[in-house]
Amino acid sequence: MDYEYTPFRKEMDLHNKCCGGMVWCIRDICGIICAILTWLLILYAEFVVMFIILIPSPYSLYSIINMVIFQTCAFLAFASHLRTMFTDPGAVPKGNATKEMIKQMGFREGQVIFKCPKCCSIKPERAHHCSVCQRCIRKMDHHCPWVNNCVGENNQKFFVLFTFYIAAISLHSLFMAVNQFLTCIRNEWKDCSTYSPPATVVLLLFLIFEALLFAIFTAVMLGTQVQAIWNDETGIEQLKKEEARWVKKSRWKSIQAVFGRFSIGWFSPFAGPTPKTKYESYLYSV
């Protein structure tokens, strides 16, 4: 439905913003710790894969090929994490549910408008309030402490890519760590690593445990995200078993709404989701 609206001026909303309002950031100590822990685990995998497995390997072709694959996926995983963490997930402006604002937005008299009692916002369809972000988030799927942010309309693509690339490097490092462990046993730990055999065993075993744990966890998350997008439902809507009051998109249109038209950009954390319409950009700008 199209609405007429009259532009109006308002102050910039700096809630959950840093760097002068340029970057979205959630000041949650639990989320910050989880995000830093994620970076440290990626760096640990980098260290073991590079300095225990690939660099000491006598097979240069094996090392180069696996190094390129692992480093590419690790970089894309890290970039996807940052984009998910520092992208506004779709926050609705706080305190805009006033009579003056409603009139200026061009809503018709008698039109049903939902107001969030917690942040005093005009609540769009399919928006939910996040107690951590303290905002209503459009198409909120869930709040993830590992990315210290909500997963919503604007950053769901980046979260899906994050889980995809983490699952990829986890499976890749699991294969390399098991292969290295078996090779060391066959060679009786001779010229296996620049570190002592006990240290090498500990490092490889921890990498195997980490890779197996995160491969399972992120693969499950990736599957649930793809299923939710495929069915045009968010995680919250599935959990609450909410009856669809919106017109559901076809499965292909639902995927395109998150990733855009099919291209190599689907797999890039540097290509954003589909731009909003002129009215949506106006109504939900912060």
Which residues have a catalytic role annotated? 144
**Sign of torsion over alpha carbons 271, 232, 87, 35:** negative
Best CA proximity match to 3, nearest among 93, 98, 96, 104 = 104
Q: What is the gyration radius of the CA atoms in the chain, in angstroms?
A: 23
In a 13 Å sphere around the CA of 169, the CA atoms on its Cβ side amount to: 28
Residues forming a β-bridge with 127: 138
Alpha carbons 23 and 143: distance in angstroms, whole number: 18
The DSSP symbol for 265 reads G
Q: Would you say 273 and 157 are in contact if contact means Cβ atoms under 8 Å apart?
A: yes
